Structure 1
Amino acid sequence: MGNCFGLNQGGSDSDSRVNFTGGNVHIISNQQKWEEKISEAKKECKIIVANFSASWCGPCRMIAPHYTELSLKYPQLVFLTVDVDEMTDLSSSLDIHATPTFFFLQDGQQIDKLVGANKPELEKKIAALAESTQPST
């Protein structure tokens, strides 16, 4: 697919594959599943956080456990993971050029984007979106 972009912590890229599942993260493996999750989120008025990553990408593997933690911390959001090598058409249509890339979608439309494995920025964006979904008192 494209470039691996982020804060590489070193280490071997040949170590075991990281599990991108867990928490409330849904793996998107085909176009139909992507469309189903978009539709469900629209019906439930939920914001989607989509992680476009690759199994060979060191920064993607580094941020995966943090992404899973965030999915548990913010259950009011929908967390998806898309492997750019498995979903090349979708990744190309969304102009993904680096991994990881995080898309934030509301009503099926992109409202924000983050490129790279920047944990503090990812958490900041997710927290702000989660707060915006809370009913005002």
Structure 2
Amino acid sequence: MATRELTAENFESTILTPDAESGIVLVDFWAEWCGPCRAFAPIYGAAATDNPDVVFAKVDTEANPDLSGAMNIRSIPTLMIFRDGIGVFSQAGALPRPALDDLLRQVRALDMDDVRAEIVKQQAAASAP
């Protein structure tokens, strides 16, 4: 599957209702002038081809500064992963292909009921007096 370009207009709908059976969306925040971004692009593209059950998307930080700011992007490339609309991973820096494959394996293995329960627990603790 080819990568998809995300903007402020389609970011939320892509994350919340991905057209992937797995519910997984990888987002690469990048810029054309960024050397590490350009080096990571073929790795990301090959992973997209090899994982058609996952949505691979890219946000051009130069063209979408408001979206990048809203997502608290401080350096690029930054990779974020969402599953079932929940952010489960965020890290600045390019990844080698074995690390990206391992990361996908871990995200697929997540028990999302446990993740949701942990979020509820953390929200309750944060709102307790």
* Superposition deviation, residue 68 in structure 1: 0.5
Q: Distance in 2 between matches of 1:132 and 1:77?
A: 15
Q: Is residue 104–residue 112 contact of structure 1 (8 Å, CA) maintained in 2?
A: yes
The amino acid that maps onto 2:104 is I
Higher mean alpha-carbon deviation, 45-54 vs 121-130, is at 121-130
Which residues in structure 2 correspond to 1:14-25 (within 5 Å)? 23-25=1-3
SS at match of 1:121: helix
SS at match of 2:17: helix
Higher mean alpha-carbon deviation, 55-64 vs 110-119, is at 110-119
The percent of aligned pairs where both chains have the same amino acid is 29
Q: Give the direction of change, closer, same or farther, for the CA distance of 1:44–1:126 in structure 2 (3 Å limit).
A: closer
Instruction: Confirm or deny that 1:92 pairs with 2:69.
Output: yes
1:78 to 55, 74, 78: 55
* Superposition deviation, residue 122 in structure 1: 2.4
The amino acid that maps onto 2:18 is A
Q: Is residue 74–residue 130 contact of structure 1 (8 Å, CA) maintained in 2?
A: no
* Superposition deviation, residue 88 in structure 1: 1.0
SS at match of 1:98: coil
The amino acid that maps onto 1:86 is A
Instruction: Confirm or deny that 1:111 pairs with 2:88.
Output: yes
* 2:101 aligned residue: 123
The amino acid that maps onto 2:101 is E
* Superposition deviation, residue 121 in structure 1: 2.4
Q: Distance in 2 between matches of 1:39 and 1:122?
A: 22
* Superposition deviation, residue 123 in structure 1: 2.7
The answer to which structure, 1 or 2, has the higher relative contact order (CA under 8 A, 6+ apart) is 1
TM-score (norm 1): 0.70
Q: Distance in 2 between matches of 1:87 and 1:109?
A: 21
Question: Over aligned residues, Cα RMSD in angstroms?
Answer: 2.2
Structure 1 residues without counterparts, runs of 5 or longer? 1-22
If each structure's helix is expressed as a fraction of its own residues, which one has the higher value?
2
Structure with greater Cα Rg: 2
* Superposition deviation, residue 106 in structure 1: 1.7
Structure 2 residues without counterparts, runs of 5 or longer? 112-129
* 2:125 aligned residue: none
